Amino acid sequence: MKHIPAAHTDFAIERELDASPEDVFQAWADPEAKRRWSDCHAEYTTEYRLDFRPFGHETHRVAYPDGRIQQIEKVFFDIEPARRIVFAYDIQLDARRLSVSLVTVEFLAHKHGTRMVYKEQLTYLDGHEDRAERIRGTEEGLDRLVLEMARR
């Protein structure tokens, strides 16, 4: 088998939310709220757990109609209420690990509520790369968070 070097990239997304940093942070910390805005494949989700604390895990497992199984496993490293969350996660499709990421989310007080800054550093493994799709999916989730906060 030919060795394919890991590929590296990063991206940043900012959102302004009409809610306090405390309220936006809570939408990340509360399992029901987090699932509402972050689950882009809710109809296929077979498992979701959130243990939101340093070294706690978030697990999201999806079974697609074609038989593929996707699992996302997160580990939280740094949690500063209403200020910052740092976590790492991997994505596996069936038994193949596609990528590993390190993410920092910061919540900054802003004149109308909160400016949230999401920064992700990715390592793609064994030839898999989906940067545009990853950015689009992350943007869609964060847009759902904006809507979630607007409804409160």
8 A C-beta contact, residue 71 and residue 60:
yes
This prediction has a pTM of: 0.93
Give the tens place of pLDDT for each residue, 18-58: 999 999 999 999 999 999 899 877 788 889 999 999 999 99
8 A C-beta contact, residue 36 and residue 48:
no
User: Residue 143 in 3-state DSSP?
Assistant: helix
Give the tens place of pLDDT for each residue, 60-103: 999 999 999 999 999 999 999 999 999 999 999 998 999 999 99
Give the tens place of pLDDT for each residue, 102-121: 999 999 999 889 999 999 99
8 A C-beta contact, residue 31 and residue 22:
no
SS3 content of the chain, % helix, strand, coil (to 5): 25, 50, 25
User: Residue 65 in 3-state DSSP?
Assistant: coil
One-letter-per-residue 3-state SS of 82-111: CCEEEEEEEEEECCEEEEEEEEEEEEEEEC
Residue 149 pLDDT: 93
Residue range 126-133: mean pLDDT, rounded:
90
Tokens of 23: 């309220």
39 or 15, which is more confident: 15
**Helix boundaries (H) for the chain:** 21-29, 31-38, 131-151
Q: What is the C-alpha separation between 35 and 73, in angstroms, rounded?
A: 14
Q: What is the C-alpha separation between 20 and 80, in angstroms, rounded?
A: 15
